Amino acid sequence: MSLRALIVAGGVFLAGAASAQDLPQGDPAEGRKLANMCRTCHGIDGFAKIPIAPHIGGEPAGYIAAQLTAFRSGARMHEMMSVVAASLSDRQIADVAAWYGAQQVSASVPAGADPAPAPCAACHGEDGIAVVEDAPNLAGETNIYIDTQLKAFRGGKREHEVMSPIAAELTDTEIRAFADWYGAVELTITSPE
């Protein structure tokens, strides 16, 4: 990816986080209480309990808030998340985002592994921990989840200024290889409690 493309991508990601900045400051303690409704799928610390749900612990609070706001508004659709987010106030979104954003994450790439997939590393990091505020961590995600999301971007079910054109160029084989690479990274989430 060229320097110009990285700069444009970074600007687009940051612009996407702007709506989340309009939310009130979140309270992690209040968010911890709200996270009880998230625990079945995402875990109380954000380590997903089911393979079709992403790990959300340690994601930037702005990223989580932007995703919840998109589910609430209908800009992003999911049979479960759209229903859950529809009932959340701005304060509740800010609080739950603050809770999950307060989790500490680390990732370990398996010894001898190839470098991170080139189209992904500039935003999602060399170890799967995102280096751009509006990009999610991919470390330790199940290959099923990543495969599904990349195909959703490629097929137009999910739209994003950066991800849609990247995914449009990927073959099924590349998608599976990228998903397998991130799935092999060990993710550790540590609660601030």
Task: Please list the residues that pair with 107 across neighbouring strands.
Answer: 187
Residues 6+ apart with CB under 8 A from 78: 71
Domains in the chain, ordered, with CATH?
Answer: 3-190 (1.10.760.10)
Whole-model pTM: value is 0.85
Per-residue pLDDT of the chain (193 residues; tens, 9 = 90+): 443 344 334 444 433 443 556 788 999 999 999 999 999 999 999 999 999 999 999 999 999 999 999 999 999 999 999 999 999 999 999 999 999 999 999 999 999 999 999 999 999 999 999 999 889 999 999 999 999 999 999 999 999 999 999 999 999 999 999 999 999 999 999 998 6
Distance between CA atoms of 169 and 154, rounded to whole angstroms?
Answer: 8
Distance between CA atoms of 22 and 20, rounded to whole angstroms?
Answer: 5
pLDDT digit string, tens, across residues 9-36: 444 443 344 355 678 899 999 999 999 9
Dihedral-angle region of residue 53 (phi above 0 means left; psi in -120 to 50 means alpha; beta otherwise): beta
C-alpha distances in Å from residue 74, one per residue of 50, 69, 86:
23, 8, 9
Q: How far is CA 143 from the centre of its chain?
A: 14
